[in-house]
Amino acid sequence: MLFENVDFSALELPAPALKLREEVREFLKAEVAAGSFTPHLGHTEFDAEFTRKVASRGWIGMTWPRRYGGQERSYLERFVVTEEMLAAAAPCAAHWFGDRQTGPSLLRYGSEQLKQKYLPAIARGECYFALGMSEPNAGSDLASVKTRAERVAGGWRVTGQKVWTSWAHKAHAFFVLCRTAPDSGDRHEGLSQLIVELDAPGITVRPIRFLNGRHHFNEVFLDNVFVPEDRVVGEIGQGWKQVTSELALERSGPERYMTTFPLLVELIRRLGKAPDARAQEAVGRLTARLWTLRRMSLAIALTLDPGPDGERGAARATVDLATEAALVKDMGTFFEREIVDAARLLAAVEPTPDATDTFERYLAETIVSAPIATIRGGTTQVLRTLIARRLLGPLK
């Protein structure tokens, strides 16, 4: 059964989260009023100055222990910050991966030294991470990574190629999933995670331009790059388990259904107070979808919250909501496109990338970025296969 241990009817945000929401809204309102950023849809912008401001409010790494620069706040509070940032299309790229993925991984698997080195810097908004997962021949099939690390005196020598590495041209370091042992037949074995600084000798970063010419993707070449022993995350050979262990939160967060949300708000504005029944129905349907997705996402965040006694920052391992999380991503990314189509059909304007009207610009931005949401972080088809396997169990 799905959502077995979740009590949806009782699911409510606690008072501190509601208070925090007001603080985040005030902050964003002031930033927008001051013209500190121009909201863009499609992909979040890299803005180190904005990231430092967010950090100064204590909203990066906010669930982490205080000793690593965190605030020891709940997942729900983090949920609130994330959804408010998305609703405002705030430029969060600089801290996105550190806050969401590498930080939690370090907390769970990193050595004390690595935690001390990186976590407080991420939380201060001064250290930016990228993710070195995909390779030319390892996309959805991540376990087929070929990048190799050879043991040498004092560490490892890494050689290979990573691809689709967002913001590698601006980040300080990236998590590299690589092979540290020859293929034993089980492709999930012999993989490890290393932190590689992006200014290390032997690293070359080349842009891969998105179809609209924008630069956030890169390919990263590693040519015999030396990585000190202490940059190994967790255990050698356990990389696969480490990479897949925290997927539930990543797959089910508001970023899986809210990246086109500001377009919906602008659509509502454009339609006016009393549009025709066709427009009302479309807006009503989208509202129902959003409301439901948010309830599902919220339920997962709340259920995985380790609670005050748990190890802050590491999701509760006892509850398995991986299937539900994959469902949120599948339906959420589909919903993001439904917004785009509804906006397109109801407004009937020719999309123009440099439009001065916000609605029209958002529409142009989201049409061209629409294909990517159902590809990154696990394609729809791979997710569905995973979901079905869990539903069906082993068949032979």
| Residues binding another protein (CB under 8 A) | 1-3, 5-14, 21, 83, 87, 261, 264-266, 268-269, 271-275, 277, 279-285, 287-296, 299, 302-303, 305, 323-324, 327, 330-331, 381, 383-385, 387-389, 391-393, 395-396
* Closer CB to another protein, 45 or 330, in the complex: 330
Smallest gap from Cβ 10 to another protein, in A, equals: 6
Active site residue 250: yes
Active-site residue, selected from the candidate residues 23, 31, 197, 250 = 250
* Closer CB to another protein, 215 or 269, in the complex: 269
Structural tokens at position 288:
């129902």
Structural tokens at position 76:
């729900």
Q: Where are the alpha helices (DSSP H) in the chain?
A: 15-33, 48-56, 75-87, 93-97, 103-109, 112-123, 239-244, 247-252, 261-271, 277-304, 322-347, 358-369, 380-392
Q: Alpha-carbon distance 247 to 378, whole Å?
A: 10
Structural tokens at position 381:
């088809």
Burial of 362 (0-12, 13-18, 19+ CB in 10 A): buried
* Closer CB to another protein, 179 or 329, in the complex: 329
Structural tokens at position 392:
């069906």
Provide the b/e sequence for 47-79 (b: ≥16 CB within 10 Å).
beebbebbbeebbbbbbbbeebbbbebbbbbbb
Contact 269, 369 (CB under 8 A): no
* Closer CB to another protein, 324 or 336, in the complex: 324
Smallest gap from Cβ 291 to another protein, in A, equals: 4
Smallest gap from Cβ 293 to another protein, in A, equals: 7
Q: Alpha-carbon distance 55 to 307, whole Å?
A: 23
Smallest gap from Cβ 355 to another protein, in A, equals: 18
* Closer CB to another protein, 93 or 282, in the complex: 282
Q: Alpha-carbon distance 49 to 84, whole Å?
A: 18
Smallest gap from Cβ 110 to another protein, in A, equals: 28
Smallest gap from Cβ 395 to another protein, in A, equals: 5
Q: Alpha-carbon distance 322 to 80, whole Å?
A: 21
* Closer CB to another protein, 169 or 294, in the complex: 294
Structural tokens at position 19:
């208070």
E strand intervals along 40-166? 129-132, 148-152, 155-163
Just list the catalytic residues.
250
